A and B are shown apart, each in its own frame.
Chain A
Amino acid sequence: MAADMATMLGIYVYALFALGAYSFTYKDNSFFKFAEHTYVALSIGYNAAVAYGYIRFTAVQPVITGTNMLFLIPLVIGALFIFFFSKKYFWLYRFPIAIITGTGMGLAMYGSISAQFLDQIVSTLRLPLYVVDKVLGFKPMDTLNNWLIIIMVIGTLAYFFFSIPPETALGAVTNKLGIIGRWTMMVAFGSAFGNTVMTRMNLFIGVYKNLLRDYTSFLGLAALILVVATLEGQRAKKAEQKA
């Protein structure tokens, strides 16, 4: 019975916040703001609690038990973050920031050149301009695709190539190629936008599915939201009239 009550309460809280968040599609309102701020506070609280648990288990315990005193160094450096709030000792805060930034940059550079630069260039250079399959023979669509990739890569690179004056003959060629580059980027942005819409829709479908799991909570809360939204609308209207 207690478990049922807890489940029901969970469904209501979920529905309340989901509908609160989506009430923004009508207009900005205090109900949405409450849901938004609660979400931000919850995620920060959760992340802090998980991080605290990890640090306590991985670093603090070995120091307390004396099994690994070396963890004292990162613990002390990490504690320097607190000086962000001090005007006098703010400079101490720069040490952990410098270490994190330096380590992050170094590690990212280590893999970036190989994984995101050289491998990408090599794979583009290796594209066959005439694709033939051992069984199926000539593959016109794959061949066309490879040609398109090469033309679009060159076009996009040309778009960002500013070293040749446009009034020269070579500059005119770069400009023409740049037009292909601009079209390529527009197609890429369009594709990214389409995928973004798909993702947002899927997020909404996920929430909607959960809301429909329990009709009573959904309908009850939908009614509640309508009331709140109406009151909110009236309040905003009055405020507008006053102004």
Chain B
Amino acid sequence: MSFWKKLESVDVRVIYLILWIGIGIPLLTPLYLPLSISPDTVVYHKAVEALPAGAVVAFGMDVSPAGYGGELGPQARATAYHLFTKPVKVVFLSFWETGAPLIQDVWKNVFVAKALQNKKYGEDYVNLHWIPGTETGMAAFAEDIWKTVPADYKGTKLADLPMMANIKSVNDITMLIVIETGTPGGPEYLRQWQTRNKNLKVLVGSLGVSVPANIAYIASGQYVGILRGGRGATEYQRILNIVTPTDVQGADAMTVSHAVVLVFLVLGNIGYLATKGKRGEKK
């Protein structure tokens, strides 16, 4: 068997092992690899930065634990930190039952917790927890928040939360930031929220896998900005200057993993092209 033939038929477990080792190295010792900031992340940051004082931001934590543990957690934490450094009102909510408990996990982050010291629950931010019904729930929420969500995550009635006094429907919301794993997510918000409030600015924190689908809404202007997967989260953290050594290790591991995949992709294709003629296929 020729070298190229062997390369083409390399056991997938060998690639997995190389990935385990390759990713493990930066996770044990940060490599501080360079990382450029993409224009999309700059636009996302600028959109949050431009929020006027008193603006109401709905923060949709529509995530699964797997998505949160990978790419979306850092996105959510960086966005929450940024929002808490601004004089805006934040309404946390989730149309994913698995996303709702993770809202409090976001608050526990060291940077977010520090920014939260200057904020008061009920006046500057609230947690409306899980809203059932997926897209139907979104429509109901957009029409009448108070009827759809009678109380917050602790069971406190909305009437006892001063911030909610003037937030009755989607028309009272300035910006929606949705950190999304899948459906329901950004497109459903566009269908049910943005069609009711044409001035609603939408930012999306997206899994890498959903970026190609979401990018169409950026091009049409329906989304103002997007964070592209884990890389987008790292870029945003760097703009906000809230990077911990663990984040650096994560970003390095990401770069190394992509490099390993790329190398095998190139080698596999070279092997395929080199052996194509021998198989009697047209070049």
Identify the A interface with B (CB < 8 A): 25-26, 43, 46-47, 50-51, 54, 57-58, 103-104, 107-108, 110-112, 114-116, 119-120, 122-124, 149, 188, 191-192, 195-199, 201-210, 212
Q: Bound complex: CA of A32 vs CA of B219, how far in Å? A: 42
Most buried by A among B23, B209, B230: B209
A107 close to B97 (CB less than 8 A): no
Given the complex, which residues of A lie within 8 Å of B280, measured CB to CB? none
Most buried by B among A119, A192, A198: A198
Q: Bound complex: CA of A196 vs CA of B211, how far in Å? A: 9
B220 close to A205 (CB less than 8 A): no
B66 close to A203 (CB less than 8 A): yes
Q: Do A205 and B23 form a contact, CB below 8 Å, given A25-B13, A104-B136, A114-B195?
A: yes
Top 4 A-B pairs, shortest CB-CB distance? A111-B191, A123-B220, A203-B70, A198-B208
> B72 CB to closest chain A CB, in angstroms?
9
Task: Output the nearest chain A residue to B24 by Cβ-Cβ distance.
Answer: A208
Interface size class of B (residues with CB under 8 A): 35 or more
Q: Do A209 and B209 form a contact, CB below 8 Å, given A104-B136, A119-B222, A199-B71?
A: no
Most buried by B among A43, A112, A202: A202
> A17 CB to closest chain B CB, in angstroms?
12
Partner of A107, one of B12, B70, B135, B230: B135
Partner of A209, one of B208, B249, B257: B249
A120 close to B136 (CB less than 8 A): no
The contact sample of 7 A-B pairs, CB cut-off 8 A, is A110-B139, A114-B191, A120-B216, A201-B19, A202-B71, A202-B229, A206-B70
| Residue B16 at the chain A interface, CB threshold 8 Å | yes
| Residue B277 at the chain A interface, CB threshold 8 Å | no
A197 close to B207 (CB less than 8 A): no
Given the complex, which residues of A lie within 8 Å of B213, measured CB to CB? 192
| Residue B192 at the chain A interface, CB threshold 8 Å | yes
Q: Name B's interface SS.
A: helix
Encode B141-172 as 1/0 by CB contact (under 8 A) with A: 00000000011000100000000000000000
B212 close to A192 (CB less than 8 A): yes
> A134 CB to closest chain B CB, in angstroms?
18
| Residue B89 at the chain A interface, CB threshold 8 Å | no
Q: Bound complex: CA of A203 vs CA of B63, how far in Å? A: 13
> B16 CB to closest chain A CB, in angstroms?
4
| Residue B79 at the chain A interface, CB threshold 8 Å | no
Given the complex, which residues of A lie within 8 Å of B27, measured CB to CB? 205, 208-209, 212
Given the complex, which residues of B lie within 8 Å of A25, measured CB to CB? 12-13, 16
A115 close to B97 (CB less than 8 A): no
Q: Bound complex: CA of A58 vs CA of B130, how far in Å? A: 12
| Residue B224 at the chain A interface, CB threshold 8 Å | no
B208 close to A195 (CB less than 8 A): yes
A108 close to B216 (CB less than 8 A): no
Most buried by B among A43, A104, A205, A209: A205
Given the complex, which residues of A lie within 8 Å of B190, measured CB to CB? 111, 115-116
> A202 CB to closest chain B CB, in angstroms?
4
Given the complex, which residues of A lie within 8 Å of B266, measured CB to CB? none
| Residue B98 at the chain A interface, CB threshold 8 Å | yes
Q: Bound complex: CA of A25 vs CA of B219, how far in Å? A: 38
Q: A26-B16, A54-B130, A111-B191 are in contact. List 20 more A-B contacts (CB 8 A).
A: A43-B98, A57-B151, A57-B155, A58-B150, A107-B192, A110-B192, A114-B195, A115-B222, A123-B220, A192-B209, A195-B212, A199-B209, A201-B19, A202-B70, A202-B229, A203-B67, A204-B23, A205-B23, A205-B257, A208-B20
Given the complex, which residues of B lie within 8 Å of A120, measured CB to CB? 216, 220
Task: Output the nearest chain A residue to B207 by Cβ-Cβ distance.
Answer: A199
| Residue B132 at the chain A interface, CB threshold 8 Å | yes
A201 close to B261 (CB less than 8 A): yes
> A216 CB to closest chain B CB, in angstroms?
15
Given the complex, which residues of B lie within 8 Å of A119, measured CB to CB? 220, 222
Q: Do A202 and B254 form a contact, CB below 8 Å, given A57-B155, A58-B150, A111-B191?
A: yes
Given the complex, which residues of A lie within 8 Å of B13, measured CB to CB? 25-26
